Chain A
Amino acid sequence: MERRFASIWFPCLATDRHAIRDPALRTVPFALATPVHGRMVITEANAVAQAQGISSGMVVADAKACLPGLEVADDRPQLAARLLKVLGLWCIRYTPIVAVDPPDGLLLDISGCAHLWGGETPYLEACATGLRKRGFQVRMAIAGTVGAAWAVARFGRATPIVPQGGEAEALQPLPPAALRLEPGVADRLYRLGLRTVGSFMRMPPSALRRRFGEPLPLRLRQALGHDDESLVPLRPTPPYEERLPCLEPIRTAAGIEVAIGRLLEPLCKRLCGEGKGLRTANLKCHRVDGRSVQVGIATSRATASVPHLMKLFALKVPHIEPALGIELFVLEAPKVEDADPVQEALWDGAPGLEGAELAELIDRLKGRAGTRAVYRFLPDEHHWPERSYREAVSIDEKPAASWKGDRPRPTRLLAKPEPIEVSAPIPDYPPLHFRHRGEAHVIKKADGPERIEREWWMDPGEHRDYYQVEDDRGRRYWLYRSGHYGDDSARQWFLHGFFA
């Protein structure tokens, strides 16, 4: 069977991606740059910028001097590679064999596919239009060899479809760079006056090899179809999804639990085999009346344990309303991560924060009470009591600083300090007695003041002078005076906490 290949070239892959996010960039000169040896160098310019003389490899400062209106953004490495992979997976609808052709192209083996679209011309149009609709500029060509398709897509000026056996003719007027050569070799050919492929196509291969190295005759042979060339096809990962159609509609909680168990087993088996675990899972229940209900769970670490996931789903079963019955269950795991291999403990160590049992407990608590219900605290570098700790990001995040224990701190802190009436000698002696909620407290012992300044760059306000006091019955309080004594000294004192 004759083989046919299509090559797709994205002249402005990364800039198109930015323009999809921000359509205003389509009409202005725009370029991406990355630091090279301490200078910002343009890696890709869009069509508007290219028309005004900006090309990749220019220094940003020079480009801005030529074109002051040039918009420049930072180029993210790997962006192009990731985009190509996504586009390649999208192109699988046109042919089962799609290969990524870095840095800016795709290669499709379309042997035996084009007739489904009614011929190669409609096929090419359908594919190119599909990609253009997604916002990418493309050039596409179809030929009998990978090399010829690649060359015509990038350098061809006549028809994009090269008929079978017409490769040599199509390649003749193209420049040597169309043969996928290294830039140095192409330059040398050009300087020697070999400005088209046709001018050296018929030269003896041994002479070309001696002068320009092995790649040139190899690429020439490949483009002309004398040598085979294989593609490395992209393999889409099948989604982590299980389906369970039911013969009879399911209406009971027990039935739903059985269904979840049946779905979880194959999914977890596959995850275990691939060394992965799921972080989120959704269960979609399609009902007889045409509606569907969905419940979701999340885990704090990747897991593929059926009993644990079963417990998490069991908490959600009461939220599933089966109505007339459920006829199809679909379980999908949208977020899957590599799971840490579980090591069997040689001996029962201290049950710490890293334990799997604790992680499972936290998942259950979060499943019922909400994800904001469970938290840990780490010390924060602030003296202000309310800000002296912060929430930890994860369950096993290590504290960066140590907890300070040099100053007395109450075991219970009031969320909102409560005003009290005091009688205190000036200037900064602790109060003699105070009245709170109608009860008078005679202060027998006191410690302080400990002045804590407000962080003025975070919030304005008065400083606080804290006193630890103990009343005649041994009850210990944390009082403070807000700011210096002023006109309104009666409203300056507050109760902020209780000591042990």
Chain B
Amino acid sequence: MLSGSLQNRMGMMDSKHEVVNRLKQDLLRWQGVTAVESHAERIGLGPVEDAFPGGVFPVCGVHEFIGRCREESAATSGFISGLLSRLTRNGAACLWISTARALFPPALATFGTAPDRVVFVDVARERDVLWATEEALKCAGLVAVVAELQEMDFAQSRRLQLAVEKSRVTGLVLRSNPRFVGSTACAARWHIRPLPSVLDDGLPGVGFPRWEVELLKVRNGNPGSWQMEWAQGGFVPAMPATRAARKPLRLRKVS
């Protein structure tokens, strides 16, 4: 009798769990989030990628990058170049849209992207950037579109996100010195800050580029903050300069 009611309750809990799960899935579907395919590849962001739903960088989504000063924009450009090198692995083309291009094209090569595979678009006004970005995001002949914008409101970001969901092009919006950062319909909001590079003891010079990668918002994921480095042609989780590494080698006396 007792065991019977327990079983019954367990069954009810099971079914409740299932119902909740199913409702969650439905909500996701209504929100326009497609289920992560099992064959989707990780793009090599290491621990950052675990923050996204399914543990995979959402390729068909608009990513918003905030750069509060020129140094941060430069760091973000480097990070975006690194992402592009992963996205354009199979010889694909991408677009870089801006009003006044400050990007130094040869630097893309440092982050593994062939600069000749990037088509640059220079337009006069921010409105034209939005128009060009939306047109480009609808074009299935591209893998990624980078847009340099200052302001973007919810309606505009929603238009971009809707375009992306059809064509599966990755949208990367770099917002330099935004006056107002409101809510947007983007898949993620990033903030990348440069960090002091770390060199092995005693070596002169400047080390690999190192950033604090902060995910301020992730749709259906977990925001967080990580330290990353670009080394040996890929993103590497940065190891803080450990005391062990600094410790001089202790020679054992041989008697």
Contacts and interface: CB of A to CB of B under 8 A. Distances in A.
**Does A associate with B in a complex?**
yes
A377 B205 CA distance: 30
A389 B54 CA distance: 41
Interface in B51-86: 70-71, 73-75, 77-79, 81
Given A445-B206, A445-B207, A500-B74, A377 B116 contact: yes
Contact of B131 (A368, A404, A413): A368
A292 to B, nearest CB: 29
Interface in B77-115: 77-79, 81, 90-93, 102-107, 109-111, 114-115
Contacts of B109: 403-405
Contact of A364 (B119, B135, B206): B135
A409 B107 contact: yes
Contacts of A499: 74, 78, 206, 209
A45 B253 CA distance: 101
Contacts of A365: 121, 132, 135-136
**Interface core residue of B106, B123, B132, B135 (most chain A CB under 10 Å):** B106
Interface in A207-225: none
Interface stretch (B16-24, B36-44, B139-147): B139-147
Interface string A487-500: 00000000001111
8 contacts: A351-B140, A373-B123, A374-B120, A377-B105, A392-B116, A474-B194, A474-B210, A500-B74
B118 interface: yes
**Interface core residue of B103, B140, B206 (most chain A CB under 10 Å):** B206
Interface stretch (B26-34, B153-161, B183-191, B195-203): B195-203
B117 interface: yes
B251 interface: no
B106 A379 contact: yes
A189 to B, nearest CB: 67
Nearest to A366: B121
B116 A500 contact: no
Chain A interface mostly: mixed
Contacts of B115: 377, 379, 389, 403
A444 B196 contact: yes
Contacts of B92: 350-352
B135 A378 contact: no
Contact of A353 (B73, B93, B206): B93
A237 interface: no
A493 B103 CA distance: 22
Contact of A413 (B93, B104, B135): B104
B77 A412 contact: yes
A411 B78 contact: yes
B6 interface: no
A446 B194 CA distance: 16
Contacts of A388: 106
A28 to B, nearest CB: 50
A446 B71 CA distance: 17
Interface string A365-409: 100110011111111000001001100100100110001110011
A473 B139 contact: no
A373 B106 contact: no
A261 B234 CA distance: 50
A226 interface: no
Contacts of A355: 93, 141
Given A385-B104, A498-B71, A353 B117 contact: yes
Given A445-B197, A498-B71, A376 B107 contact: no
Contact of B139 (A353, A361, A375, A376): A361
Contacts of B117: 352-353
Contacts of B105: 377, 389
Interface residues of A, number: 58
8 nearest A-B pairs in the assembled complex, by CB-CB distance: A500-B78, A357-B141, A498-B74, A474-B196, A413-B104, A403-B109, A355-B141, A350-B90
B124 interface: yes
A497 B119 contact: no
B141 A445 contact: no
A412 B132 contact: no
Nearest to A445: B206
Nearest to A364: B135
Contact of B194 (A352, A409, A500): A500
A475 interface: yes
B128 interface: yes
Given A352-B93, A409-B110, A474 B197 contact: yes
Contact of A350 (B91, B111, B193, B195): B91
Contacts of B141: 351, 355-358, 361
Interface string B227-248: 0001000000000000000000
A373 B136 CA distance: 14
A469 interface: yes
Given A362-B119, A500-B209, A410 B196 contact: no
Nearest to B115: A377
A500 B79 contact: yes
B122 interface: yes
A351 B71 CA distance: 33
A499 B121 CA distance: 22
A470 interface: yes
Given A389-B115, A411-B74, A474-B195, A374 B110 contact: no
A476 B209 contact: yes
B172 to A, nearest CB: 14
Nearest to B143: A351
A476 B142 CA distance: 32
**Interface core residue of B71, B79, B81 (most chain A CB under 10 Å):** B71
